[in-house]
Amino acid sequence: MCRNAKILLIVSALFSFAMGLSGIFISVFFWKETSSFVVIVIYNLIHYITTPITFVLAGILAKKKNGIWSLRLGLLMYAVFYALILFIGNKGIIYIYCLGIIFGMAIGFYWLAFNTLSFDFTHVNNRDTFNGFNGSCSGISAAIAPITSAYIISRFSGLKGYRVVFLLTLIIFLVLFLVSGALKCKNYSNELNFKKIFSRNCDEWGIIRISTFFWAFRDVIIVFIVNILIMETTGSELSLGKFALISSLVSSAVFILVQKVIKPPYRKVSIYIGTIGTFLAIAALVVKITNNTLFIYTVLDAFAIPFFLIQLSSSTFNVINKTNEENFRIEYMINKDIVLNSGRVISSTILVFLLNSFKNSYSILKIYLIVIGLLPLISGYFLGKLKSVLEGTTMFQRRSRG
């Protein structure tokens, strides 16, 4: 891998550590302030809506300059987000929703840039290796961070520990902003092609879109649901940190395993291991929510996800390569993110409706967990149809879309 790719891995690892410190505790912090599932879901819904809009803005900036500009702006927005939580304090539900907008902007600028630069700094022959190392390094960082922040929170009364953790996160993002200055990239000096952003583009990309859409229904939605369930079951931030530690250690090991063991002929098998495994993990929770079933979910889900995500990520980039439309990689990244967040928005909206319509929120959550647990099986089915991409075939049929 080139120097820029290695620096990007460092940025990703530090980013994962920063997000690991505070990420899983943001929803818990808001939960402690409001005691409302609906507020948490709407907060997430707001940043799911804001993110694709920001992706377009980040794409315009990246095409005019390069991806590094969007990356640094994203890191700065993350710093602003944590600074507002730290220095302004809780001003009520409207304040929480405003934070959702800022968080969505941070996600949009950072991830458009990261995905674009990941493409620019890698190629077909080392992309699986990059994604494997990225998943592993990020996983290790994410393993250390939550248990560290959980320990800090447990040492203070009330919400003081949360504020210490948010301060540490703010400092790391400011450091990341400086580290990102070491990345070098030529200016792209182009205009966004909005037709590429909103169209299917080719048959293979259409499959990527469908697979991404169904995965999005589960994706991060399940994370904040399970985190709150862990808090409700154990009543301890330290327990939440321990579960996060276990999850990250398992996923880090499996990311390395997949990168080393899963070769092109077995990528389809890898997809099925991932999607079936994630469903079985959720099924364990639905039976009964206890410390034991939470542990089973944590281990099985962390084991299964890398088998699927590495294939989805690599296939996304490889389809762009195979269509010979590398110059439109930013448009393709925006295109995919619009689909991803559309799935998240629909999933969140359904959840808000269910929570408002039925009194027993925990029963509704169990039913909804089963539904979103099944949808990745559909995602895996469609991704598995990309035979030529998964097996590394150099030629496949491309059909242009008008």
- pLDDT tens digits, 194-251: 888 888 888 888 999 999 999 998 877 787 778 878 887 887 788 888 888 888 888 8
Band of residue 304 on the pLDDT scale cut at 50, 70, 90: very high
**What's 158's DSSP letter?**
T
User: What is the rounded distance in angstroms from the CA atom of residue 97 to the CA atom of residue 46?
Assistant: 7
What are the structural domains of the chain? Answer: 3-181+196-390 (1.20.1250.20)
CB pairs under 8 A, 24+ apart, for 258-263? 258/132, 258/306, 258/307, 258/310, 259/128, 259/129, 259/131, 259/132, 259/133, 259/135, 259/136, 259/310, 260/132, 262/307, 262/310, 262/311
Q: Residue 345 is encoded by which pair of tokens? A: 């928005």
Judged against a pLDDT cut of 80, whether residue 345 lies above it is answered with: yes
Distance between CA 49 and CA 52 in Å, rounded? 6
pTM equals 0.81
User: What is the tens place of the pLDDT at every residue in 245-295?
Assistant: 888 888 888 888 887 887 777 888 899 999 999 999 988 888 888 888 889
Q: What is the pLDDT of residues 68-89, one digit of tens each?
A: 888 999 999 999 999 998 877 6
Report the alpha-carbon distance of residue 284 to residue 28 in Å, rounded.
23
Reported as type and span, the H/E element at residue 33 is: helix 3-34
